[in-house]
Structure 1
Amino acid sequence: MTEPKFIRGFSKLSRFQKVQWLIEALNLDQSTADFLKCFELSDHELQSVIDDLSENQLSNFHLPFSVAPNFLVNGQFLAFPLVTEESSVVAALAKAAGFWAGRGGFHAKVIGTEKKGQLHFNWNGTPENLTRLFPQLKEQLLGEVASLTENMAKRGGGITLIELKHLPEVLPNYYQLDVAFETCDAMGANFINSCLEQFGRTLKSWARQNEAFHDEERHVEIIMAILSNYAPNSRVKVWVECPVSELETDRHQARIFADKFVQAVHIARRDVSRAVTHNKGIFNGIDALAIATGNDFRAIEAGAHAYASRKGVYSGLSYAELSGGQFCFSLEIPLAVGVVGGVTSIHPLAKVAMKILGEPSAKELMTYLAVAGLASNWSAVKALVTTGIQQGHMKMHLSNILSSFQLSGEQKQAARLYFQDREVSFSEVQKYLSEHA
């Protein structure tokens, strides 16, 4: 393949010019331009919203916008909007929702909503002086961000805690201002970062003007100011429970299933090889709902994976137990999300997703995301300890396999009927098509 040459000022080119450069630089067919254009929206106003979401945009990349009904959460029925390319994820969520709707549904409790950010800096002055005068500094820090926190404070949020941390084990002379925030219904990244950057300016000015440091040189050097996506105190717990006998129609089989399910979850909590895939199954549900609602699934995953490692070993996030004939399956997970601002308030389909969910608060969305994670995990583990994961997965994957061939609607339907009770694989589908061409 032809390699593209270095180009300056690419972002300043029009979309047409960017596409033409790509075609010429990579020796692509000229029809590529029309192909990319066919994915654009006919509504120019909506298309302009998509255009502004990212840099160097050439076209739109479409993913299915789906829905899984029958989620009973804290006594309320909901439908979950989902964006994912994997049909088995949607099917698994819908199946889990229906199963648990008849057994009391999903229960959820928000444990906390605190988010964190840090001002990282080197202090080359006397540590004792900085510690002694920190209360004075703290007062000045809060005073100089008052204009930034005013509106958030009116909504019940703002800065809730500022701690000075000396961490010489990380770097010599290294300190943090570790700051806790309440951002209400906003994810709050811009708010947090703005406050932290102002803290950096205030700290430098304070150290320069404070008489206690006149005999010391270069007291403070700001390294960076940034929010943390690790939010263990912005956490939610969700769970399902029922008598073991209600897990299967046969009482004996129900106990066998429950035992194997609990064992499988226990393995994921103790074995990293299983834990990674186990947690990926949780995020199949969480990510699909997060993307649909315009939330940052990358930040959610990063924070939760760190939480899964908080005891020094990476572990499965869900928990299952049997007690007195009762089965309980739960998930406790950090989730920092927002329902105002950002993509949630801009993307047309994210707005629809929020309407489908009944315009939830940030706390409610936290619970729904966790429920989606637990539901996805339930279906995956259930399949693993019963029929195996491939049977259901490949059945759902059949449509994707058929789409890779040039087939009519009738041919696709015939293939689906043929594989209803047969093993699905790419080679088997290919063999079937060659025999029924």
Structure 2
Amino acid sequence: MQKPVEGFSKFTKEEKIKWLVDQYCDNPKEAGETLRRYWHQDPHVQKRHDEFIENTLSNYYLPFAIAPNFLINERLYAIPMAIEESSVVAAASKAAKFWLSRGGFKATVIGTEKVGQVHFLYHGDKNKLHAFFATVKESLIASAKPITKNMEKRGGGIKEIELRDKTHTTEGYYQLHCTFETLDAMGANFINSCLEQFADTLKDEAKEHKPFTDREKNIEVIMSILSNYVPNCLVRAEVSCPVSALGEDDIDPETFAKKMVQAVAIAKNDPHRAVTHNKGIMNGIDAVVVATGNDFRAIEAGVHAYASKDGHYSSLTHAEIDDGIFKFWMEVPLALGTVGGLTSLHPLVKLALEILQKPTAKELMQIVAVAGLAQNFAALRSLVTTGIQKGHMKMHLLNLLNQLGATEKEKETLVAHFKTATVSNASVKEALENVRNGHHD
């Protein structure tokens, strides 16, 4: 029976492993060996990994891959992707190659505004609060100068602070809604530090504000925190070409273009389809976000909120045929950074950014958006032609063979066999048994 543990964070790594495997694992020795097997061979590198988070026991590996041939704004990229799902990299690569000969991808940063909020309670005269804010706003900005000084030298800093009345949702609830420019940094620590300073200054100034009654002086700050919903930190990615250039083996160009437009229309109107549609976009976006050391959870949350901005959850991509031209595009909010965080600490993150030719945050926004658009195009292309499973299961074949313990020679034989056969769990198992029994052609 498992027991609670005291002082776990103070244990050595070996002590943590021993406690864990003894308490929770059927084969403690094997479990311990598995954890140690994935330690980095260089102890200095491993120590750095250990210090990224708390209670580190090992490293969890994801494949690090490249999707080549992305032509973005007339510049050629090989895009690093870190993801475990079969067919994502292959699909992105296929879409990149498809558009390489059709003008490539275009990407434009529409805005880079990031958001943070001070949430507080005030139970008093609203007019007095608005008058107070008008007098204190400059003091709020001035109080954060020690934090913003270096950012301002680079051209960033605080953009605006607004007082927002939210009392229609909760009694006495107001916000300081603050916007920032953080340049090449994602800026979470910078923004949160500014917000906490605003909160302190707001409370201090209220205590000295003579028009307030004693009750009104008691502004209660609930919390100060950045928002991962950044609808004005926006990037557009797009492709277009004549419908006649959309040649597909199994379908004529006009039918293909119309089915693509219809597929997007379905995702715009049906949330069941839209969620899966957008999940495919995030396959491409998240893979690059992870590879470049950015926060994929924040990106996911912000993007899905943006997909609901019109009051219902809908497709992030758009498609149309305009005077014989097929157009496919997307606008997504992406708050990304290329400095700070893991960018200088994780060796593969540094390498990923180097492979991307050391992009600015704006350039990375464009690259990531294009990866998402390419992934969606590839998925829809399969769905409206051959179906998704044919390509997906082909890519999943090696995973199935590994699960079944196939040897290298057996893998080679069965990969050749399934070039013309349908891949499924049952068919792969049967084919492997046939090979082992000497019945395979």
Q: One fold, TM greater than 0.5?
A: yes
Q: Within 5 Å, give how 1:29-428 maps onto structure 2.
A: 29=27, 30-216=29-215, 219-248=218-247, 253-428=252-427
CA–CA distance in structure 2, aligned partners of residues 252 and 10 of structure 1: 61
Aligned residues: 435
CA–CA distance in structure 2, aligned partners of residues 27 and 390 of structure 1: 36
State the Cα distance separating 1:345 from its structure 2 match.
2.0
Secondary structure, aligned partner of 1:216: helix
1:184-212 deviation per Cα after TM superposition (whole angstroms, max 9, x unaligned): 00000000000001111111101111222
Q: Is the 8 A contact 2:251 2:385 kept in 1?
A: no
Query: What stretches of structure 2 of length at least 5 have no aligned partner?
Result: 437-441
1:365-404 deviation per Cα after TM superposition (whole angstroms, max 9, x unaligned): 0000000000000000000000000000000000111111
State the Cα distance separating 1:406 from its structure 2 match.
1.9
Identity of aligned residues (%): 51
Partner of 1:24: 22
Secondary structure, aligned partner of 1:420: coil
Q: Is the 8 A contact 2:80 2:291 kept in 1?
A: yes
Q: Is the 8 A contact 1:125 1:220 kept in 2?
A: no
CA–CA distance in structure 2, aligned partners of residues 225 and 401 of structure 1: 48
Q: Is the 8 A contact 1:70 1:78 kept in 2?
A: yes
CA RMSD of aligned residues (A): 1.3
CA–CA distance in structure 2, aligned partners of residues 215 and 417 of structure 1: 82
State the Cα distance separating 1:172 from its structure 2 match.
0.4
Partner of 2:439: none
Secondary structure, aligned partner of 1:367: helix
Post-superposition, which runs of at least 4 consecutive aligned residues in structure 1 deviate over 3 A?
214-218, 249-252
State the Cα distance separating 1:418 from its structure 2 match.
0.9
| One-letter amino acid matched to 1:149 | T
1:8-29 deviation per Cα after TM superposition (whole angstroms, max 9, x unaligned): 2111111111111112112532
CA–CA distance in structure 2, aligned partners of residues 252 and 375 of structure 1: 20
Q: Is the 8 A contact 1:245 1:251 kept in 2?
A: no
TM-score (norm 2): 0.97
Partner of 1:12: 10
State the Cα distance separating 1:63 from its structure 2 match.
1.0
CA–CA distance in structure 1, aligned partners of residues 101 and 272 of structure 2: 34
| One-letter amino acid matched to 1:201 | D
| One-letter amino acid matched to 1:309 | S
State the Cα distance separating 1:54 from its structure 2 match.
1.3
CA–CA distance in structure 2, aligned partners of residues 27 and 252 of structure 1: 53
Distance 1:37 1:27, change over 3 A: closer
CA–CA distance in structure 1, aligned partners of residues 192 and 113 of structure 2: 15
Instruction: After superposing the two structures, state which structure 1 stretch, 128-137 or 249-258, moved more.
Output: 249-258
Q: Is the 8 A contact 2:410 2:435 kept in 1?
A: no
| One-letter amino acid matched to 1:432 | A
State the Cα distance separating 1:46 from its structure 2 match.
1.1
Distance 1:391 1:167, change over 3 A: same
CA–CA distance in structure 1, aligned partners of residues 216 and 148 of structure 2: 33
